[in-house]
Amino acid sequence: MELLQTTIEKFKNTIRLTDEEKLSATHEALSKIDINSKIFIDTYPRAASINNIYPGTKNGEDWDDWTVGFWTGMLWLSYELTRKPQYRKVAEFQMRAYKYRIENKIHVNHHDLGFLFSLSAVAQHTVTGSEVAKEVGIKAADHLIGRFKEKGEFIQAWGDLNDPNAYRLIIDCNMNVPLLFWATEVTGNPIYREIATKHINTAAKVVLREDSSTHHTYYFDPATGNPLKGVTAQGFSDDSAWARGQAWGVYGFPLAYSYTKDPKFITLYKKVTNYFLNKLPQDNVCYWDLVFSDGSNQERDTSAAAIAVCGILEMDQYLEDSDPDKAIYMNAAHAIMKSLIEKYTTKDLDYSNGLLTQAVYSKPHNSGINECNIWGDYYFLEALVRINKKNWKKYW
């Protein structure tokens, strides 16, 4: 599958990041995390900053938040980069809260168990071999499969499982089903993998439009399981492509391929990635919805850009060297990262405890607009780890 000619030309001769640029950006990110690791110990950064500063929340104060795992994941990434024990100690300390939360079923009745536990429990087990973390991750996977709907074959995103008005999936769950694939790997029980595969296959059928843009959320008939309609919750309109949702596709389908080796996920990856790249503005950092571009006077979403980079770097290892698009995608990843590093980090904001500026949580809800957000920071750091460590073992 070919990219549109404009994109081929745009990324044909991209200058890759130099070793100096990679190391400098990594050092700058770690300098912020080093400070934060002394503050956010029994607290977590909230999802979005206020004036580029993250407030903190203590365990129990904000249990309904789906984003705390990103901070714990950043600690594990930092530990892998530096082997400094302070990062590991804080991350291991925080495992107690994740264990308590899943064992007591505190605000886990949603599909975001992967965001919470892949970056805490799975990460800790991957890096240290911790049996406690492994058991916590399995318990989270057990809870997640309880949201699987046989009629329609998908994991319900939000809401009461008996509410017919909540009978839907969202594209974000592309990043949550890897928790289930992992659970099968560590337990040998095929049920997790079976449910993950059914969900991602259903998502692949319904979230992509003919032009390869994506729906944010898709509803099903609870009586029959038949697909009904695609709408948005955080995008500009039901017909537009919410940038972060498209980025979940850019990253989620490579992850599905990594576990299933089903070649259709390479095709799907190329479709959603081509669309994403061809909607980028001049400086390669997307606006919050891909319907907007230069001159729109809309906000960027650096978090979506960082997510997409991670997806491209994940799929790069599976594309054949003979694939004519392989180098184009890698050029694009470097071009996006170069722009993020040069224009959108907090390196010139000494007072900020975030990594990336100009992210958007939810524009329709007037939440976290033009701020740092914690998942954008996480994916930016993960992209730096992937660029610096060729054989990094992912947490997803």
Q: How far apart are CA 358 and CA 371, in angstroms?
A: 5
Phi and psi, residue 87, nearest 5°: -65, -45
Q: Mapping DSSP to helix (H, G, I), strand (E, B) and coil, where does residue 230 land? A: strand
Q: Mapping DSSP to helix (H, G, I), strand (E, B) and coil, where does residue 221 land? A: coil
CA atoms within 13 Å, Cβ hemisphere of 176: 30
Residue 172 is among the residues annotated as catalytic for this protein: yes
Q: Under 8 Å CB-to-CB from 166, ≥6 apart: which residues?
A: 156, 157, 158, 159, 160
Q: How far apart are CA 361 and CA 373, in angstroms?
A: 7
Angle between helices 243-260 and 191-206 in degrees, nearest 10: 140
Question: Locate tokens 């040998």: which residue?
Answer: 188
Evaluate whether 214 touches 232 at the Cβ level (below 8 Å).
Answer: no
Q: How far apart are CA 243 and CA 305, in angstroms?
A: 8
Q: Kindly state the greatest CA–CA separation across the chain.
A: 58
Q: How far is CA 2 from CA 109, 270, 286, 324, in A?
A: 41, 9, 21, 8
Q: Are strands 359-362 and 367-371 parallel, antiparallel or unpaired?
A: antiparallel
Residue 321 is among the residues annotated as catalytic for this protein: no
Nearest CA-CA partner of 246 in 275, 218, 281, 266: 275
Q: Which among 19, 65, 172, 301 is annotated as catalytic?
A: 172
Q: Which among 19, 65, 112, 283 is annotated as catalytic?
A: 112
Residue type, 160: D
Q: Mapping DSSP to helix (H, G, I), strand (E, B) and coil, where does residue 360 land? A: strand
CA angle 329, 335, 339 (to 5 degrees): 150
Q: Which residues are catalytic?
A: 112, 172
